[in-house]
Amino acid sequence: MKVTINDVAKYAGVSIKTVSRVTNKEPSVRQATIDKVNQAITALNYQPNVAARNLAGTKSYVIAFVYDNPNAYYVIDMQNGILSACKQRGYELLIHPCDATSENICQELTDMVRHARLSGLVLTPPLSEDPKVLAALDNINANYVRIIAGEAADQYGGLTVLVNDRQGAVSITQHLIDLGHKQIAFLSGDQQHESTKERLAGFKQAMHNNQLPVNETYIINGQYSFEFGVDGAKTLLSNSERPTAIVACNDEIAAGALFAARLEGVSIPAELSIVGFEDSPFSRQTWPKLTTVHQPNDKIAQTATELLIAQQNKQEDTPTEHMFMPEPVIRDSSASPLLS
């Protein structure tokens, strides 16, 4: 026979409402009461019915992860981080991939919020940086948290998790400069992502900080893909004056650049250093392994979800923003340049 909330309340010697407050992770419940109810839940192997909770009250227990990103590793890390926070707090996860460039994206998201009775949304770039999307969600009073690239919160405010891509790019470029590189190229990602602009700005900042010229012919715009890394590196290697190092906007691009260099017979890192960004599995699956910038996407997503749920539960002193600082991870794809 299925265990009900009534059984848990009776076993713990508390009211049904108290059991509900504990399972919903509501604030202001005494720790002794929480322990008593959790002991009853464990003893009876009680499984709260999230769908029933959503139907029974005005509060929803469903968080949506909304994204437009072709990188499967990024999506999986984000999904795992959000799911971890949801499981700890009794929420369900709805995964919603979409096309951020669609003319109907605003209508698509507002319809989803209404039909799924969402508690809130975790928005990732470029959706989290799109003024039209934010305005549409604000118009229906939707709850959301934004994951964005930047050193400070932008004019749109609200719950925000910042990733300081600029400083991460400064650090990884400085690593190459400290090794002795002066002719450094940059393979860029999609321009619709603020992270692309921030990483390029960080690259240029590091060059300027060290009084090194930025060669615009060494900066190639493209997409966050392995194929672009291959094509971009081939273009750079066809230059009469080749760069001695390449900063790639993410690990997928860097892996493609490394592949192209090997096809051209260029030794990595003896003749060319290549570094990436994000510390995705791509960085550890290449040979040699990529020097990169660690960006803990799972932790970023978990933190964003925790902020969103805390705000929903009206927890006091809930911060409105959190900053992550990516850090370099030095591996085998970077070394001092050969002396000419």
Domains of the chain with bracketed CATH: 5-48 (1.10.260.40), 62-163+296-325 (3.40.50.2300), 165-295 (3.40.50.2300)
Q: What is the pLDDT of residue 25?
A: 66
* Nearest to 186, CA basis, from 148, 212, 211: 212
Render the burial of 58-70: b for 16+ CB within 10 Å, e for the rest. eebbbbbbbbbbe
Q: What is the pLDDT of residue 17?
A: 67
Report residue 96 as tokens.
């919603």
Q: What is the pLDDT of residue 243?
A: 96
Instruction: Specify whether the CB–CB gap between 220 and 187 falls below 8 A.
Output: yes
Q: What is the pTM of this model?
A: 0.79
Compute the C-alpha angle 205/210/214, nearest 5°.
60
Q: What is the pLDDT of residue 57?
A: 46
Query: Tens of pLDDT along 54-82?
Result: 434 456 789 999 999 888 889 999 999 99
Residues in the chain predicted with pLDDT less than 70, given as ranges, are: 1, 16-17, 24-28, 48-59, 316, 339-340
Q: What is the pLDDT of residue 89?
A: 86
Q: What is the pLDDT of residue 245?
A: 97
